[in-house]
């Protein structure tokens, strides 16, 4: 389905814009595994859809207002689907209100009690996540499947290494199967139940904290079934370590063409998950959202205080929300060449710098103009790429944030060792 759409935020207003077709993007490591598509509301997962970004709220779902207040900024940051825990009847009772007010499709996360899944379906939920580790009664699963089938909503078979079904009794000396195999087996058990009922709107996740375990499990499952995969490293940790762990686990699989939707799980506010998820997809040229910033790491050649300038540039272009590549480099000699693929860039030298496009210098500006000149040139790029009308709209969004004196480039020159 090529009409898959995703939210982008432009100057505080949410707009919906067709995703960049994969064929227009730059290089990719491997072709995507072709999975059987499912639909969560109006969002396609699998098939020829782009990889979808999702996250999960951490409010008390029973508090509909608090939950909606958390979903709205997540959608602005690029969450295309949001999942909610539904741990009890109070949470299930709040679902109709939340679903009615949500800007994106919602998935109910159900453990233990299949009646909550039935209530969520009745409330109009767009998808379910069931854990085969804790709803083991085939008759109860069947009731849920029948209801999901009638409403045409998909079910994620969500296996988590921390809540696997109990091991069968092992014969003396027999070793338990590896964790990845146990995860695959747990998923296959539930997939079998669903398939026996003629139900195929299935998604699968096989999440583990241990990256080799989750990678092995997904690779194995990719050989076994045609269903789309929700990728994630579970309980990945704090934003620093957890982002890296998630990027490695999710990134390995995406680089192999495996994976249809991702969730980065961090011990942080869910808004912190969104930029990480998008950077993973941007790094692999699978999606584009907002600015991609190229910034040199700085070295002994630098003669300006680059980092505050980088942060200012990122803040401005992030706010515009257009998928262009902007470079901020620390010297005129190497900067334009090192960032030759950037749509627009600045090579900042002492007292003056060069504005360049695709590696070619287009003008030289004084250091007081670094930020304003780069923004102006960036707007020209946006006008060329996306049309004058959109660039005009963005014009009203561009307001220079004055730099504090200590942030101005050139004020804190790094002195080079002789
Ligand atoms: Fe060093 Fe210049 Fe490269 Fe930045 S662009 S890392 S200052 S050589």
Record the tokens describing residue 410, joined without a space: 């050139």
Per DSSP (E only), the strands in 281-404 are 292-295, 325-329, 344-348, 352-357, 360-366
**Rounded distance from Cα 300 to ligand 1 centre (Å):** 8
Q: Take atom 2 of ligand 1 and give the residue whose Cα is closest.
A: 331
Q: What is the pLDDT of residue 176?
A: 82
Residue reference for tokens 């982008």:
8
Sign of the torsion angle spanned by Cα atoms 313, 317, 318, 319: positive
Q: What is the pLDDT of residue 82?
A: 98
Give the span between the Cα atoms of 294 and 95, in whole angstroms.
42
Three-state DSSP at 272 gives helix
Instruction: Give the ranges where 225-369 is alpha helix by DSSP (H).
Output: 239-255, 273-283, 306-320, 335-338
Give the span between the Cα atoms of 314 and 327, in whole angstroms.
10
**Rounded distance from Cα 331 to ligand 1 centre (Å):** 5
| Pocket perturbation via mutation, ligand 1, pick of 310, 328, 335 by most ligand atoms within 8 A of CB | 335
Q: What is the pLDDT of residue 3?
A: 34
Q: What is the pLDDT of residue 287?
A: 93
| Pocket perturbation via mutation, ligand 1, pick of 305, 330, 332 by most ligand atoms within 8 A of CB | 330
The tens digit of pLDDT for each residue in 162-199 reads 878 777 777 777 888 899 999 999 999 989 989 999 99
Per-residue tens of pLDDT for the chain, all 418 residues = 333 333 333 222 333 333 333 444 567 788 899 999 999 999 999 999 999 999 999 999 999 999 999 999 999 999 999 999 999 999 999 999 999 999 999 999 998 889 999 999 999 999 999 887 677 788 888 899 999 999 999 999 999 988 787 777 777 778 888 999 999 999 999 899 899 999 999 999 999 999 999 999 999 999 999 999 999 999 888 999 999 999 999 999 999 999 999 999 999 999 999 999 999 999 999 998 889 999 998 888 888 889 999 999 999 998 888 899 999 999 888 878 888 889 999 999 889 999 999 888 999 999 999 999 999 999 999 999 888 655 555 444 444 444 444 443 333 333 323 2
Start-to-end Cα distance in the chain: 60
Domains of the chain: 5-283 (3.20.20.20), 292-407 (3.30.413.10)
**Rounded distance from Cα 277 to ligand 1 centre (Å):** 28
Which atom of ligand 1 has the smallest separation from the CA of 335?
A: 5
Which atom of ligand 1 has the smallest separation from the CA of 329?
A: 5
Q: What is the pLDDT of residue 328?
A: 95
Give the span between the Cα atoms of 102 and 69, in whole angstroms.
9
Which atom of ligand 1 has the smallest separation from the CA of 297?
A: 6
| Pocket perturbation via mutation, ligand 1, pick of 329, 337, 346, 353 by most ligand atoms within 8 A of CB | 329
Pocket of ligand 1 from Cβ distances under 6 Å: 296-299, 301-302, 329-331, 334-335, 338
Q: Take atom 1 of ligand 1 and give the residue whose Cα is closest.
A: 299
Give the span between the Cα atoms of 360 and 362, in whole angstroms.
6
On the 0-12 / 13-18 / 19+ scale of CB atoms within 10 A, 30 is exposed
**Rounded distance from Cα 302 to ligand 1 centre (Å):** 6
Residue 272: φ, ψ to 5°: -75, -20
Write the DSSP assignment of 3-49 as a string of letters. T-EEEEEETTEEEEEEPPPGGGSS--SSPPP----EEETTEEESTTP
Q: Does the model's pTM come out above 0.95? A: no
| Pocket perturbation via mutation, ligand 1, pick of 293, 295, 301 by most ligand atoms within 8 A of CB | 301
Give the span between the Cα atoms of 175 and 172, in whole angstroms.
9
Give the span between the Cα atoms of 12 and 296, in whole angstroms.
29
User: Which residues, 6+ apart, have CB-to-CB distance to 255 below 8 Å?
Assistant: 29, 30, 284
**Rounded distance from Cα 295 to ligand 1 centre (Å):** 9
Q: What is the pLDDT of residue 386?
A: 87
**Rounded distance from Cα 24 to ligand 1 centre (Å):** 30
Give the span between the Cα atoms of 117 and 127, in whole angstroms.
10
Q: What is the pLDDT of residue 233?
A: 96
Q: What is the pLDDT of residue 408?
A: 39
Q: What is the pLDDT of residue 248?
A: 98
Q: What is the pLDDT of residue 388?
A: 61
């Amino acid at each position: 389905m090529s009409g898959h759409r995703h939210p982008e935020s432009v100057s505080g207003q949410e707009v919906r814009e067709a995703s960049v077709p994969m064929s227009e993007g730059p290089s990719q490591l491997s072709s995507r595994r072709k999975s059987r598509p499912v639909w969560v509301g109006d969002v396609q997962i699998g098939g020829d859809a782009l990889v979808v970004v999702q996250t999960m709220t951490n409010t008390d779902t029973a508090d509909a207002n608090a939950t909606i207040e958390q979903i709205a900024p997540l959608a602005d940051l690029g969450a295309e689907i949001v999942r909610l825990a539904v741990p009890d009847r109070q949470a299930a009772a709040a679902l109709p209100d939340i679903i009615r007010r949500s800007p994106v499709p919602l998935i109910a996360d159900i453990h233990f009690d299949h009646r909550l899944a039935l209530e969520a379906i009745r409330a109009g939920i767009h998808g379910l996540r069931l854990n085969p580790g804790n709803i083991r009664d085939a008759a109860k699963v069947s009731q849920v499947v029948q209801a999901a089938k009638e409403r045409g909503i998909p079910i994620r078979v969500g296996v988590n290494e921390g809540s696997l079904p109990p091991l069968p009794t092992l014969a003396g000396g027999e070793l338990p199967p590896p964790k990845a195999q146990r995860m695959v087996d747990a998923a296959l058990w539930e997939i079998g139940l669903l398939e026996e009922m003629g139900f195929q709107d299935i998604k699968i996740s096989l999440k583990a904290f241990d990256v080799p375990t989750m990678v092995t499990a997904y690779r194995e499952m990719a050989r076994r079934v045609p269903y789309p995969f929700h990728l994630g490293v579970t309980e990945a940790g704090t934003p620093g370590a957890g982002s890296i762990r998630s990027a490695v686990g999710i990134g390995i699989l995406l680089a192999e063409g495996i994976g249809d939707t991702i969730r980065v799980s961090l011990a942080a506010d869910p808004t912190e998950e969104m930029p990480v998820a998008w950077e993973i997809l941007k790094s692999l040229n699978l999606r584009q959202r907002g600015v991609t910033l190229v910034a040199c790491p700085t070295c002994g050649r630098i003669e300006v205080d680059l980092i505050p300038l980088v942060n200012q540039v990122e803040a401005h272009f992030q706010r515009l929300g257009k998928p262009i590549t902007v470079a901020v480099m620390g010297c005129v000699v190497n900067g334009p060449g090192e960032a030759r693929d950037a749509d627009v860039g600045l090579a900042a030298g002492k007292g003056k710098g060069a504005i360049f496009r695709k590696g070619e210098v287009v003008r030289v500006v004084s250091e007081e103009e670094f930020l304003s000149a780069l923004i102006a040139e960036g707007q020209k790029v946006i006008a060329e790429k996306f049309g004058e009308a959109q660039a005009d709209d963005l014009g009203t969004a561009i307001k220079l944030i004055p730099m504090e004196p200590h942030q101005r480039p050139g004020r804190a020159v790094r002195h080079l060792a002789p």
